[in-house]
Structure 1
Amino acid sequence: MELTEEQRNFTAALEDFCRREVTTRGETHDPKLYRKMAELGWLGLSLPEEFGGGGAGAVELCLFLETTAKAMAPIGGFATSIIVAAAYERFGTPLQKQVVLKGVAGGSVESIAMSEPEAGSDVANLSCRAERRGDEFVVNGQKTWCSNAHFADRILLVARTSGRPGEHAGLTMFQVPAGAAGLRVSGIDTMGGREVNDLWFTDCVLSADAVVGQVGQGWRQLMAGLNAERLILAAVMLGTAQRAFDDVVAYVKERRQFGRPIGSFQVLRHRLADLATEIECARLLVYDTAAKVDRSPATVLPRESSMAKLKATETARRVTLDAMQMMGGYGYATEYDMERLVRASIVSTVYGGTSEIQREIIAKTYGLAEAATPAG
C-alpha cells in the first residue's frame, strides 16, 4: 500500500522515538514510556478530537501498532485500551466517553473481562451474572484470561443480565473501576510472565450508570467491534513478524559456519525468501482491510478482519519459530529477543479468537455452514 507523505513522516517520527527511548528488556508495559507517548498525542491517535484524540483512521492506527511492535516497545496496555475505547466510542454515554476516551488519550489503561473457564470461543456460554436490584447491579462469578487487569484503571465487564448460558441474548457491558469492592484480581503465571488474570466477583455492586450501551445488547455490541479488535491484533503481530525477520537476517549475515556466513547457504536463503513473501502478503491484507474500514467505518467486515487476524498471527508464528531454528541455541537464549518474540506469536493464534474460529467465520461468509447432524 502506498503511504501518504504525512503517514510516512508519522512512521519515521515513531521509529526515531523508539530508537531513542525503547529497550527490549524489562516489563511488557512501561508506565513512564507510556506517558511520554501520551504527551506526544500518539495514544489517542485514532480517537475523536473532541476527546483529546487525533481523529486518525484505521490505517494510521495499524502503522502505530506495527511500528511499536517491531520496536518491541513496552506498551502492553495499549491494545486492550484502544479496543475498549472503540466500544465506549460506539455505545458509551457522554460522561463515559469523557472519562474513558480522554483517559486513554492521556495514558490510562483499560482492560476487558469476557472469557470464563467454560466460555472462551463460545461467548454465548457466559455465566458470570449481574443481577438487577433496584438502581444497582450485583455481580457474581469468575472471569479469566483478562489482559492487563492488574494495572488497568477500569475493566469493561461483559456479564449476563438475563437468559441462560448458551444464549447470545441477555449479555450486558459494564464499566468497573479498578479496586471496586467485591472484585479480586489474581494473576495467572504464563510463558510470558504475568500478563493475564483471573477476576473474581463476589457481590460486586455497580450503579445503573455503569451500564455501557443497552442492557441485554452486549452480544450485538461485541460484534460491532470485531473490525477494530482483529485489525489491532493483526497489526501487532505484523510488527512482531517483521522484527523477528529483521533480527534473523542480521544474525545469518554475521554468524559463520564452515568458513562462511550461514546466510549464504541456499537452504536458509530460500527459507528467508519465503518468510519475506509471507510477511508482505500479510501486510497487504492488513492494510487493505484497514483502508476498507476507513472508507466505511460502520460496516462490519467479518471475512476481511478474520482473514487479517488469521494471516498475520499464523505468519508471525511461522516466522518466529523458523527464525529461532535458524539461530540455533541463540534463538532459545534469553540473551536474545527471539525467544520473547516466539512466546508472543504463539499465544497470538489463541487470544482474540483462535485461528480455528477465524477459519470458521471465513468459511461461513462463503455459505459453508456446518451440516446438521441427522436424527437417528
Structure 2
Amino acid sequence: RDDGLADFAFAMQGLGTGALSLFGTPEQQEWLSRTRAGKAISAFALSEPRSGSDVANTEMTATRDGDSFVLTGEKTWISNGGIADLYVVFARTGEAPGAKGLSAFLVPGDAKGLGIAERLEVIAPHPLARLSFERVRLPATALIGRPGDGFRIAMSVLDVFRSTVGAAALGFARRALDESIKRVAERKLFGAPMAELQMVQGHIADMALDVDAAALLVYRAAWTK
C-alpha cells in the first residue's frame, strides 16, 4: 500500500531463497541468515528467451562432469539480475523429457562464467537482466534437492509467492481507492464536490466492490495454501 519497492525487496528475497528454505541442505541454508538480515541479495532464475511460463521448454543445460555440474545457457527477465549475491537457477539435466528433466542449483553471484548479457531498462526501480552462463562449473553440492526435482521445486516456490503477489496488488488497489475518495471529496465541479455526482459515486462503489472481492480471493488463496 505504501511502497511498491519495499514489496519488491520482500518478494524477491523470499522468491530467491524459497527453494533453499523448502528443499536446501543445512549447508545451503546458511545463506538464509544473510538474506534475512539484508546482507545478501537473492534471485530466482527460471525464465529464458524461449521459455517463460512454459517451464518444460527450458533449454539451459547442466551437464554432470565428475563431481561437478557445468551450466551453459541464458536466463532473462531475472529480477535482481546482475546485483544478486546468489541465484537459484533451473537447468536441464535430462533425467526425463520435458519438465521431469530439470534440476535446481545454487549459484553464487561471483561464479566464474556467469555474466550480465544485458540490463533490461524499465520505468519502475526494478533491476532486471539477461544472464549468460558460459560453462559455469559448480560442485555437486550446489544441487538443490534431487536430480529431476527442478520443476517440482520451482512450482512449490511459486505456489507460496502467488498469494503474496496478489496481496501486493491488493495493497496498491486499496491505496488507489483511498486516493480516489480523497480526490472526489476535494475537487469541485459545478459548485459542488465531485463526490456528489451520481456517476462518480457509481465508479467509486464499483472500485470498492472490486477491492473487497480481491481481498477475499487473496485471503482464500493464502488460506488454501
Q: What's the TM-score once normalised by structure 1's chain length?
A: 0.56
Deviation for aligned residue 1:250: 1.3
Question: Which residue of structure 2 lines up, in the alignment, with residue 339 of structure 1?
Answer: none
Match of 1:168 among 76, 99, 110: 99
Deviation for aligned residue 1:193: 5.2
CA distance in structure 2 between the aligned counterparts of 1:220 and 1:161, rounded to whole angstroms: 14
Question: Which residue of structure 2 lines up, in the alignment, with residue 179 of structure 1?
Answer: 110
3-state SS in 2 of match to 1:180: coil
Question: Which residue of structure 1 lines up, in the alignment, with residue 133 of structure 2?
Answer: 201
CA contact (8 A) 1:78 1:109 kept: no
Q: Which runs of 4+ in 1 moved over 6 A?
A: none
Deviation for aligned residue 1:183: 1.0
Question: Which residue of structure 2 lines up, in the alignment, with residue 129 of structure 1?
Answer: 61
Question: Which residue of structure 2 lines up, in the alignment, with residue 344 of structure 1?
Answer: none
Q: Determine whether 1:111 maps to 2:38.
A: no
Match of 1:256 among 175, 188, 198: 188
Identical columns (%)? 36
1:90-109 to structure 2, matched below 5 A, reads 90-99=22-31, 101-107=32-38, 108-109=40-41
CA distance in structure 2 between the aligned counterparts of 1:115 and 1:163, rounded to whole angstroms: 20
Q: Cα RMSD over matched residues?
A: 1.8
CA distance in structure 2 between the aligned counterparts of 1:154 and 1:102, rounded to whole angstroms: 13
CA distance in structure 1 between the aligned counterparts of 2:165 and 2:112, rounded to whole angstroms: 32
Please give the per-residue CA displacement for 1:215-265, whole angstroms capped at 9, x wherever unaligned. Answer: 111112223234302112111111111111111221222122222222221
Deviation for aligned residue 1:284: 1.4
Deviation for aligned residue 1:112: 0.6
Q: Determine whether 1:266 maps to 2:198.
A: yes
Greater relative contact order (Cα 8 A, min sep 6): structure 1 or 2? 2
* Higher relative helix content: 1
Q: Determine whether 1:72 maps to 2:8.
A: no
CA distance in structure 2 between the aligned counterparts of 1:150 and 1:278, rounded to whole angstroms: 38
Point out where structure 2 has 5 or more consecutive residues left out of the alignment. none
Distance 1:157 1:230, change over 3 A: same
CA contact (8 A) 2:95 2:148 kept: no
CA distance in structure 1 between the aligned counterparts of 2:11 and 2:98, rounded to whole angstroms: 28
CA contact (8 A) 2:100 2:148 kept: yes
CA distance in structure 2 between the aligned counterparts of 1:196 and 1:73, rounded to whole angstroms: 16
Deviation for aligned residue 1:278: 1.0
Could you tell me which amino acid in structure 2 is paired with residue 181 of structure 1? K
Match of 2:91 among 156, 159, 180: 159
Q: Determine whether 1:223 maps to 2:155.
A: yes
3-state SS in 2 of match to 1:216: coil
1:284-299 to structure 2, matched below 5 A, reads 284-293=216-225
Deviation for aligned residue 1:269: 1.1
CA distance in structure 1 between the aligned counterparts of 2:42 and 2:15, rounded to whole angstroms: 9
Q: Determine whether 1:210 maps to 2:142.
A: yes
CA contact (8 A) 1:188 1:194 kept: no
Distance 1:211 1:71, change over 3 A: same
Could you tell me which amino acid in structure 2 is paired with residue 105 of structure 1? R
CA distance in structure 1 between the aligned counterparts of 2:35 and 2:175, rounded to whole angstroms: 26
3-state SS in 1 of match to 2:127: strand
Deviation for aligned residue 1:84: 3.0
3-state SS in 2 of match to 1:127: coil
CA distance in structure 1 between the aligned counterparts of 2:205 and 2:166, rounded to whole angstroms: 21
CA distance in structure 2 between the aligned counterparts of 1:188 and 1:163, rounded to whole angstroms: 33
Please give the per-residue CA displacement for 1:76-100, whole angstroms capped at 9, x wherever unaligned. Answer: 222021123332122100111122x
Could you tell me which amino acid in structure 2 is paired with residue 239 of structure 1? G
CA distance in structure 2 between the aligned counterparts of 1:285 and 1:118, rounded to whole angstroms: 32
Could you tell me which amino acid in structure 2 is paired with residue 249 of structure 1? I
Deviation for aligned residue 1:123: 0.6
CA contact (8 A) 2:91 2:103 kept: yes
| Matched residues, number | 222
Please give the per-residue CA displacement for 1:291-338, whole angstroms capped at 9, x wherever unaligned. Answer: 333xxxxxxxxxxxxxxxxxxxxxxxxxxxxxxxxxxxxxxxxxxxxx
Please give the per-residue CA displacement for 1:145-165, whole angstroms capped at 9, x wherever unaligned. Answer: 10112322211101111168x
Match of 1:188 among 120, 143, 148: 120
* Higher relative strand content: 2
